[in-house]
Amino acid sequence: MSIRHGLLALLERGPSHGYQLRAEFDAATGATWPLNVGQVYTTLDRLARDGLVAQDGEPDSDGRIAYQITDEGRREVTSWFASPVTRQGAPRDELAIKLALAVTTPGVDVVSVVQTQRSATMASLQELTRLKTGADDDLAWSLVLDHLLFRAEAEIRWLDHCETRVARAAARRGETPVSPAPTPVAAQTTPAGKRGRR
Amino acid sequence: MSAPVLLLSGVTREHRQGSTVVHALRGVDLAVHPGELVAVMGPSGSGKSTLLHVAGGLDTPTSGQVLVEGTDLASLSATASATIRRRSVGYVFQDLNLLPSLSALENVSLPRELDGIRGRQARGEALEALAEVGVADLADRFPDEMSGGQQQRVAIARALVGPRRLLLADEPTGALDSTTGEEVLRVLRSRCEAGAAGVLVTHEARHAAWADRVVFLRDGVLVDQSGPVAGAESLLSAGGAA
């Protein structure tokens, strides 16, 4: 991705300088993937080199240079929106690698690896749900939150699936799973205090 | 810290199937305080529904204690236990929640009339409860004149009418589409924020995420629980700057 395409899409709305572009990008995405100004200016330089944007007038009194999109830049944005995002190959996923190694490494308690992750992902899901209730009026950000939410949910479903498969494989080998009797945890008696909810 | 509305300590439930004993719950400890929504997750057969039934006095533990508003249900006679159950606990199920021949208002005021409250006051409280879940305008509708989501709101109002503070929900969004289901969870959440204690049984992570705490059941044992993470910002930055 394309910070490149993101900035081009923002410039299609009108000329702008780096700081402003960064603020607009962060506003649309809830600062989920924050940009630094250096990245923004480096990208603008490359876009200018490739003829997709051009400097818009002279630097202002603060020395900031505004950029405007070129016709070629507009064609690039149109084609970006029109084409699907392709994720080439499977990006290396630490969790999938960890699980794959857990089931093949003797002595690893796979059930507990799965549960540790499930609990952590569940906590993220809770937090995202909380953020989402405060983001109702901001369509762009709430869609980004939905993306993260669905991803966390998918991860939990996959973990449930892993657990079932591991148990089934163990049963087929005539073994009990690595962790036959889960250890109970002490009931946490958290106070019912209001947690910061947005 | 306020006293828990629901307290389970060392709760075990065994079912006998012929000569074999099935351990539905094994030494479960759980406290739910006012203002708190706790979700119970686990695969089918993990003991989720048994936990909910035991918590609401619909089932009796083989050993251990269940305290509702500080009262040990096992110490009571069947009649007294039924009274506690009726006066302190509200249930919301996946469906079949409302009596079809009664209007929304009558459905919600019924438990109060059974409590011995006079009709007029009971109706006043019912109307208040309906307003709290955002459906006061549906008071005169019958269940078949309402959408599934509206019916579940009425069911939540009925579960919490009067002094009831413990709400037990078993897959309350099961039959609803995802947007309507989310609205029902919002209502559940806000009733808990207003001071009720809620237990939500679900197999959907997305629904459990509305809770303050999620507990995981495996083979009748509470294996883990998750609360919210420390800071939202740390969570978002964990996605990495792409």
CA angle in degrees (0–180, nearest 5) for B226-B230-B234? 115
User: Is B235 in contact with A189 (Cβ distance < 8 A)?
Assistant: no
Q: Please name the amino acid found at residue B234.
A: S
Chain A: closest CA distance from residue B2 (Å): 7
**What angle do the packed helices A110-133 and A139-172 form, to 10 degrees?**
160
R_g (Cα) of chain B, nearest Å: 19
Does the pLDDT of residue A193 top 50, yes or no? no
Q: Give the pLDDT score at B216.
A: 92
R_g (Cα) of chain A, nearest Å: 24
Q: How far is CA B154 from CA A159, B97, B161, in A?
A: 35, 9, 10
Q: Give the pLDDT score at B55.
A: 92
Q: Give the pLDDT score at A180.
A: 42
Can you tell me the distance from the alpha carbon of A157 to that of A162, in angstroms, rounded to the nearest whole number?
Answer: 9
- pTM assigned to the model: 0.77
B95: its two tokens = 């469906």
Choosing among B33, B206, B219, which should be mutated to test the A contact, i.e. which has the most A CBs within 10 A? B206
Does the pLDDT of residue A160 top 60, yes or no? yes
Can you tell me the distance from the alpha carbon of A97 to that of B87, in angstroms, rounded to the nearest whole number?
Answer: 52
pLDDT band at A189 (very low <50, low <70, confident <90, very high): very low
Listed in sequence order, the residues at least 6 apart from A162 whose beta carbon sits closer than 8 Å to its beta carbon are A99, A110, A114
Q: Please name the amino acid found at residue A143.
A: L
Alpha-carbon torsion A194, B2, B5, B6, what sign?
positive
* Yes or no: domain B6-228 corresponds to CATH 1.10.1510.10: no
Chain A: closest CA distance from residue B39 (Å): 11
Alpha-helical regions (H) of B38-138: 48-55, 78-88, 104-114, 119-132
Residue range A3-82, CATH number: 1.10.10.10
Q: Domain residue spans in chain A?
A: 3-82, 94-172
User: Is any Cβ of chain B less than 8 angstroms from the Cβ of A130?
Assistant: yes
Least confident span in A49-53, A163-167, B104-108, B237-241: B237-241
Q: Give the pLDDT score at B96.
A: 67
Choosing among B210, B229, B233, which should be mutated to test the A contact, i.e. which has the most A CBs within 10 A? B229
Most confident of A147-156, A176-185, B219-228: A147-156
B150: its two tokens = 């509206």
Question: Whose CA is closest to A149, among A125, A121, A127?
Answer: A125
Of B2, B193, B226, the CB nearest to A123: B226
Chain A environment of B227 (Cβ under 8 Å):
123, 126, 188, 190
User: Is any Cβ of chain B less than 8 angstroms from the Cβ of A182?
Assistant: yes
Helix (H) or strand (E) holding B22: strand B20-32
* Residue B17 bridge partners (DSSP): B20
Q: Give the pLDDT score at A194.
A: 39
For chains A and B, CB pairs below 8 A equal: 129
Q: Give the pLDDT score at A57.
A: 84
Does the pLDDT of residue A182 top 70, yes or no? no
pLDDT tens for each residue of chain B, 242 residues long: 688 999 999 999 998 888 888 889 999 999 999 999 999 998 888 889 899 999 988 888 999 999 999 989 888 888 888 888 888 888 888 776 789 999 999 999 998 898 888 989 999 999 999 998 889 999 999 999 998 888 888 998 998 888 788 999 998 887 777 778 888 888 889 889 888 999 999 988 989 999 999 999 988 898 877 765 444 444 444 443 33
Report helix, strand or coil for B89.
Answer: strand
Does the pLDDT of residue A46 top 50, yes or no? yes
Q: Domain residue spans in chain B?
A: 6-228
Residue with tokens 């966390």: A152
* For residues A6-15, average pLDDT: 92
Listed in sequence order, the residues at least 6 apart from A32 whose beta carbon sits closer than 8 Å to its beta carbon are A141, A144, A148, B236, B239
Report CA dihedral (A37, A39, A41, A46) to the nearest 10 degrees.
-170
